[in-house]
Structure formats: C-alpha cells, structure tokens
Structure 1
Amino acid sequence: MRALVISALRAFCGTVCGAALVVCTGPAAAIARAHPPPPAEAGQEAGARPGAAGSVRALPLRPRAAAGPVTETGPFSLLGIVWPDAGQELRAEAWVRTRSAATGEWSGWHRLEGHPDHGPDHAVGHESGHESGHGAAERAAEAVRGGTAPLWTGPSDAVQVRLAAAPGLPHGLRLALVDPGEGPAPAGTAAGAPQPRGAAAPMPQITSRAGWNADESRREAEFVYTESVKTVFVHHTETGNGYDCAEAPAVVRSIYRYHTEGLGWRDIGYNFLVDKCGTLYEGRAGGVDLPVRGAHTLGFNHNSAGVAVIGTFMDQEVPPPAADAVARLAAWKLRMYGGDPAGTRERTSTGGKYPAGTVVRLHTVSGHRDGTHTDCPGDRLYAQLPAIRTAAAAIRRPAAGR
C-alpha cells in the first residue's frame, strides 16, 4: 500500500499557528507509495514522478494554545488533515483558511469535516460467498490512515489552521496539501463491455480515468471485484462548492491523490463522481461495467457502487444536471444486475453503524447515511433521493427500431 516517507527537501514554509495549532517547520513529508519512485530531481516536488502532474505534501501539525503566523506553502488546490491510526477519530473542530495564488486574497475560515464512516471496510463482505482480487480487507492494511474530508480551495499558496487542543487528539497529525497539476488529457469516454441486446437501461456517457488524467502509478495494480451491484450509495464529496465545471477534472485528480497518498487507500474510494454540470467521471479503476469493490460506505462496500456528487449539499441545492446524472448511472448499474432502482434489498453489514453480520433492508438507491453514521450526502441531496429513484426507475433502453 502506501507509507509516509520523509523527504530530503525542505518545505516552502516557515512556522504557522492557527488559534490553537502550529504547522511545524522542518522537513516536509511527501506522501508516497511504499515503493516510491526515483528520488526527485532538483527543483521537483518531493514525491512527484518525473512527467507526472501534481504532488502531495504533508506538513506536521503540533497543537498549541497561542496563535501564530501564516505558512507559505507553494502551490496546492485541496487539503485535509491526516493521521496514522485509521481507527481514531478527530474529536475536535478543525478550521482552515487559505490564500489565493491568483489574487493574494484570503478565504474565510472553513471547517474540515471528519468522515470515519467513509472508506474501506474492516473485513471482506461475503453475502454470497465470493469476492475476487487482492487486498479485499483494505482497511486492515497498515498504510491506511485516518483523515478529514478534503476541502477544495482552488489554486492556493498559503494556509492557516485552527484546531483547539483537546484530550484524545490523534497522534501524528499532518496537513496534506494536494496540487492536482495542470489540466487533463483530452477528454475520453470510459468504455464498458458490449451490453447484451435488450439491456434494460442505456449506459450513460462517462469520462474515463484517462479523460481526467489519472496518474495510474498512484494506485494499486490489482483490482478487487464482488459479485453484483445490489445498491448504489449516493454521496457528496464535502469538498465545498467553490469550483466551476472546467475545474472538475482537477478536483477529481485531487480527491484521487488525497485518497491514495493522503489516506493510503488502494485507489480513489468512489466508483463514480459527477460534477455540478452533470458530467460523470470514472472513479475506482477496474471497469465501469464491472462490480468493482469501492471504499465509500463503511460496512457495505461489497456488492455496491458509490457515486459522489462533487460539492457539499447540506444547505446548497443540488444542481438538476447532477441529480439527473445520478439517476442515469443508478438505472444503468442496477438494471445491469437485475436490480430495481425504486426497490429495496436485504444487505449484510461487515461492521460499522450495523454490527458485522446484521441484515439490513436498504433502498437500492440509498444515501450514505442510510448505511453509516454520517450526514452524507447532505440534507439537500438526501432529500432528492426519492425523486432520483423515480427518475432512475423510468429510464429504460429504447425498443429496437425506435
């Protein structure tokens, strides 16, 4: 999997304190694979692969009671706080503000949300006794780390963090800064296997991993498959809504690098993502038409697909194109495996909100909060799920000759 590797390069920063936390000076930690690429050449960011877009750096955080100055960081567009023990939660409010690289203006303070019920399961799910591939119990890997939900900041070059010192804070807190690199390769459409004649719902257009310029060296080489797709879990990324659709591929690249290099997951956790304009993106690798095991809904990653709407939808209305894209994807994935988008299925938990072995009846199109302890996918998106189910149930492949 992936490990924290201390870089020989020095961070582009001095000392910074939030109201109760210091970003420490000294060596920056480049978050890289357990078998890292060759050492970075002079002038390259530590942890970056020659020719690859983007980078991830981790700055040590030390809780303090007093405020301090700001950290000059170099370029980043997404951030989050990570720590070594995935079993620990950050039971304190963490706030950040960032400086725009384009204007020099500072943002307001943004809260980083914890998400302990996102990500890999503790154990392999065997509802019907079969799962293929390697590393199925992904959360058991030593390199898997705890972390907050990431925040998209847009191109930034300085940060200030505020985190009140409190009992039980995880040890080894680091601020992960993600630079997604330059724009994507020419857009491509993900190709699935030829669909059987008369397939119940059409495959929607999906931007491939090549289309959003995924660096495939950052994920595990092997894929993990389950038997079916019984449930589509709907998420929001909690990265904020301050992006435009042209930036969406960079947001996806940033989430991918945060999941793999920041949190130590085998690949991006979501099977699919959708932006506010309704563009669908291939998430976890392995085949968009196959039952790839994701890391998105603790306890129910087996025999499911996770689709995340890019943004935060507690109070923000869901753009209609995004809701429509979720419905089209759910119709295709569920009907491919004989599911009814308006129906329910019994599911067996592998642990989390429901103890391992508990049988739960869930909607085939469920919100993340239906399976775990979380407010995801946000109140506004969750309220749209009945309409999304109805829309998905109405989508069918046109009859031949029409």
Structure 2
Amino acid sequence: MRGFLASSVQVAVSTALVLPLSLPSGAAAAPPPADRAPDLPGSTQSLPLAPSARSLAPSAEHRLSAPRVRPFSLVGVVWDDADTELHGTVQVRTRAAGSGRWSGWRKVETRNHDHGADPGTPERRASRGSTAPLWAGASDGVEARVRPDTGEPARLPAGMRLELVHPGEDETAETRALSSPDAETRAHSSPAAGTRALSGPGTDAGPRPHSSPAGPRPLAGPPGALPFPETLVDVLPAAPATLPYVGPRPRIVTRKGWGASESLREKGFVYSTKVKAAFVHHSATGNGYTCKQAPSVLRSIYRYHVVSTGWRDIGYNFAVDKCGNIYEGRAGGVAKAVRGAHTLGFNTDSMGIAVLGSYSRTDPPAAAVTALAKLTAWKLGLFQGNPKGRVTLTSGGSGKYAKGRKVTFNVISGHRDGFHTDCPGARLYGRLGAARTASAGYQGRV
C-alpha cells in the first residue's frame, strides 16, 4: 500500500509546543506516482495529536490547535493499528476560509472500525485505524480534542493524527456544469421523505416492466438531478432481455464524472463471484453539503480512504447524494462484483452503498431513498437477487459474528445488521423496508 503522506506544515499543540509534522514510525513519504499528472487535484495534511499539557499520560486528553493551515474541506483522525478501537470522543471546530469565522465544536463519529476490508486480507493488513470523516467545507484553521471515555482503562490509540483533506478544485467544463439551483428543493419536495417517491405504478418511481430491450437505456436523471454531461455518465448496455427481473439501469455518474484521481488507488481489482446482498450505509460526514458539492465530498472521502487509512480504493461500491444522484464508487466495473471495504466481515459477495450525509436524527431525502431502490433493482437483478428476499453469507469475522458463522440477511440490509453500529442511522434504516418494496417493483416482481 502507499506510504503515509505528510505535510511540511507545523502546528501548535495546546502546550504551545510547536511540533514538526512527522510520518508514523517506519513509514516513508511516497513519491508521486510516475504516471501522475502535475495538475491532479487534492492534498492531505497530517497533523500529530499530542497529550494535553496537564498530563503527558498516553490516556490523557489529546488536543491540537492549528489556527492557520493550508485549505481543506474534510477532517478525520487516524492511528497506527486498524484493529484498535478509539474508546472516546473526538470533537473538532474549523475556521471558514474567507470569513475567518469559527464553527462550533462538532462531534466526529469514532465507531468506524466496522468499515473496512475483511480480516486477514492484504488490504486489511495495510490499513490504519480511523474515525469517520467529517465534511467541514472550505476551511483554513482547525482545533481538535480527543477525550477518552470515563473509566476506560485502555489507552487512546498510538500514533493519532488529524487528517485535513482538500478535494481539489476541478475547474473543467464538466464540473462547471454542476449547477442546478432548485435541485435540493426538488429533492426534499416530498413531505414525508421517501414516501411519495416510492409509490404509484405508472409514475416515474413506480414499478417498471422487467423486460430489457437490447442497447443502452435512456439516462433520465431523478428529479433534481445535476446536469452531468452524458460523457461522464455510465453508458453500459442494458441487461440482456434473457435475464428476468432486472430493473432499468439507472443513471450513474462515473469516477471520471466526480473527478477521481486514478493514480491514487491500487491498479488491480478484487472481485467476488456474485453480488448476493446490498449493505446500505450513511457516510456520517454530516449534512452540510450541497448537491453541487457532492463530487468534492466524494473526492475527499476517496482520498481519506486511500491516503489516510491505507485502503486500496474508496470503500463503497456506490454513493448516493441527497438529490438522488448515483455515483460509481470503487473501481472495477459498475456491473461487476467488485469487492469493497464497507462492511467488516461481509464484503465478499456483497456491495456497499453509502448515502452521503448523517441520518441518525435526520430523515433521508425522498430522492435518495428512490435512488437506492433503482440502483439495487438493477444491480441485484444482474445477479438474480430479489430485493425482498433473504440470503445467507459467511462471516469473515465482524465482531458481531465470529469468522465462519453463516448469517442470514435481508438482500437489502443496513450496515448495523452485520455489525454493532448505528450505521446507516436510525432514520435511513427505517426507510429500508420501503426501498425493498420499491426495488422489487422496479424489477417487475409482484
């Protein structure tokens, strides 16, 4: 895996000690790949977290104050050992670039070790521990504090570093086309999120015939869809007419469409035999993004997963934004059984779909739930999966289920079904029943 990339910036810690940015022990800065173009966007700053001035004990509160850093938009914390959990809380506040105003303290989701490659795989062995990333928007200053749980005897993880990710500014004509002023208004137009958009035969969201004419399908986007040029939308042929119960292929924005730097990821691909189940996630990055910013959020998550946590590529197979736009995630072919790093212990024979945002206390937009239904109807249908069915998977070791245990899931499940986690958030998890019904309808099932 690629070495950890560090910045040359220096930061002031709470003790007023100025520490040079350093690489984790044994790591070396990776030179730019030979095939990397000089103008590819994005950067990562890695700032070491240190114990509070009041105590130098490893289990003490760790703080960091960096009032001036290079611009960034996403923040997270990583540490050396992927198998070590951070038993504590992480809070950050950021300074908005331009205005100089500081945000309030925001909580970063720490229960994140359940996202990642399966135990025993090369990708897992090369990984680091990490929190979920948090979208902060354009920022140029940051403060952070990590507090251990009360009464927790274990030390905080070794080698904790604050990661500041800049997604890069894509000034191409393709990105400038991402302008739809009323997109989010229409995405939230349903009074009961996910209800009206998932009902009504004969409507745009209603069941479709499962027969698949030869050749590509029209790529009509969802209400509120961002106007990506057609060259940046997946145009694979539709499923063969001989396959029963395959939903219409939805409009999928390609990796090129959202600006993935292909030189970041590993070149090879890892596949399963088939896709038997879909695990739904929320990205836990917060809801303070606009749909126009969704490609930047994805580029940031991608860089965080690869550069900061050491994964071979972005962990999710697909992502969905609040306006219902669907994005290609991990590379290897949207119609293939690409093995991701999304549901620890159950990445084999499954796919992971992340809805961008946090949905523990916020209702998912109707457009996002509809997009889940359309995507699963098509992708599961390619592998003869029934969205309302059940399937048995063998655990690779998840903490909730021991390695080798056979576990029965809904074909469309939430991440929490495979691990002790809140993901995909209670509000989104509560919409999965409606998504299963709608997905089966798109496949033409009664």
Alpha carbons of structure 1 residues 391 and 308: separation in structure 2 relative to 1, 3 Å: same
Residue deviations 1:226-276, cap 9 Å, x none?
011100000000000000000000000000000000100000000000000
SS of the residue corresponding to residue 301 of structure 2 reads: helix
Residues 1:177 and 2:164 are matched in the alignment: yes
1:2-401 equivalences in 2 (<5 Å)? 2-5=2-5, 10-11=8-9, 13-17=10-14, 25-27=19-21, 29=23, 35-37=30-32, 50-66=38-54, 70-114=66-110, 115-123=112-120, 137-141=122-126, 144-164=127-147, 167-183=154-170, 185=172, 186=174, 187=228, 188-192=232-236, 194-199=238-243, 200-352=246-398, 353-396=400-443
Which residue is 2:184 aligned to?
none
Shift of the 227–33 alpha-carbon distance from structure 1 to 2, 3 Å rule, reads: farther
Distance 1:194 1:23 in 2: 60
TM-score, with structure 2 as normaliser: 0.78
Structure 1: gaps of 5 or more residues: 40-47, 124-135
CA distance in 1, matches of 2:265, 2:302: 9
8 A contact 2:343–2:415 mirrored in 1:
yes
Change (3 A) 1:61 1:182: same
Aligned length: 369
* Aligned amino acid, residue 124 of structure 2: R
Alpha-carbon distance in structure 2 between the residues aligned to 1:351 and 1:232: 18
* Structure 1 residue 163: Cα displacement: 1.4
* Cα distance change, pair 33–342 in 1 and its aligned pair in 2 (3 A): farther
Q: Which moved more, 1:344-353 or 1:360-369?
A: 344-353
**CA 1:170 to 1:391, structure 2 compared with 1: closer, same or farther past 3 Å?**
same
Measured after TM superposition, the shift of residue 57 of structure 1 is 1.4
- Partner-residue secondary structure (3-state), 1:225: coil
User: Cα deviations across residues 63-93 of structure 1 (Å, max 9, x unaligned)?
Assistant: 2155785431110000100011101111111
CA distance in structure 2 between the partners assigned to 1:50 and 1:170 by the alignment: 35
Q: 1:148 Cα shift?
A: 0.2
For 1:22 and 1:340, the matched residues in 2 are separated by: 59
Instruction: Tell me the amino acid that sits aligned with residue 213 of structure 1.
Output: G
- For residues 320-342 of structure 1, give each alpha carbon's deviation from its aligned partner in whole angstroms, at most 9, with x where no partner exists: 00000011111111111011001
Amino acid across the alignment from 1:25: L
* C-alpha deviation, 1:14, in angstroms: 3.8
Comparing 102-111 with 262-271, greater Cα deviation is found at: 102-111
Q: How far apart are the structure 2 equivalents of 1:107 and 1:51?
A: 31
Aligned-pair identity in percent equals 49
Answer yes or no: is the 8 Å Cα contact 1:189–1:211 preserved in 2. Answer: yes
- Whichever residue aligns with residue 100 of structure 1, its letter is A
- Distance in 2, matches of 1:80 and 1:273, equals 19
Q: 1:184 and 1:321 mapped to 2: Cα distance?
A: 27
Secondary structure of the 2:4 match is strand
Of 282-291 and 162-171, the range deviating more from structure 2? 162-171
Normalized against structure 1, the TM-score is what?
0.86
Give the Cα–Cα distance (whole angstroms) in 1 for the partners of residues 270 and 17 of structure 2.
Answer: 37
Q: CA deviation at 1:6?
A: 5.1
Question: Normalized per residue, which structure has more strand?
Answer: 1
SS in 2 for 1:74: coil
Q: Kindly provide the amino acid, as one letter, of the partner of residue 148 in structure 1.
A: T
**Corresponding residue for residue 133 of structure 1:** none
Instruction: Quickly say closer, same or farther: Cα 1:65–1:163, change in 2 above 3 A.
Output: farther
Distance 1:23 1:300 in 2: 44
CA distance in 1, matches of 2:28, 2:388: 41
Q: Is the 8 A contact 2:6 2:46 kept in 1?
A: no
More divergent stretch after superposition (291-300 vs 166-175): 166-175
The whole-number CA distance in structure 2 between the counterparts of 1:38 and 1:118 is: 27
TM-aligned CA deviation for residue 194 of structure 1: 5.0
1:64 touches 1:165 (CA, 8 Å); kept in 2? no
Q: Report the residue type matching 1:52 in the other structure.
A: L
Moved more, 146-155 or 165-174: 165-174
Equivalence for 2:218 = none
d(CA) in 2 for partners of 1:165, 1:207: 41
1:177 aligned partner, one-letter code: L
- The separation in 2 between residues aligned to 1:68 and 1:334, in whole angstroms, is 45
Which amino acid letter does the alignment assign opposite residue 239 of structure 2? Q
Alpha-carbon shift at residue 5 of structure 1 (Å): 4.7
Cα distance, 1:183 vs structure 2 = 2.7
